[in-house]
Amino acid sequence: GQQLNQSPQSMFIQEGEDVSMNCTSSSIFNTWLWYKQDPGEGPVLLIALYKAGELTSNGRLTAQFGITRKDSFLNISASIPSDVGIYFCAANSGGSNYKLTFGKGTLLTVNP
């Protein structure tokens, strides 16, 4: 089946540092999404990407939809303690089912 390879698995950074994480796949996807999940909560959508090559920002977050449609990255600039959480990439291959495939997540810890 389709799989998303998300890396790194975890990151420990100092407050103020920039962070980068990415997802790759051997399959082509039409939509890439990035979610953040806090403990005991559902995922919250951060950024949605719909076109190959698209670069989108949401505050301190920037994400790109790879030109090959097989990868995406998420950057967080000037990290703050509330950025702590698990970040998931997700992708949809198109068609009418709208099912999402999720990466395994990146656990981010920010030391104040």
Residues 16-35 that bind another protein (CB under 8 A): 35
Binding of another protein by 98 (CB under 8 A) = yes
At 83, give phi and psi (nearest 5°).
-75, -10
Minimum CB distance to another protein, residue 78 (Å) = 27
- Pairing mode, strands 106-111 and 55-58: unpaired
The answer to whether residue 102 forms part of the interface with another protein (CB under 8 A) is yes
97 part of the interface to another protein, by CB under 8 A? yes
Task: Name which of 10 and 111 has its Cβ closer to another protein.
Answer: 10
Contacts of residue 40, defined as CB under 8 A and 6 or more positions apart, other chains included, come to none
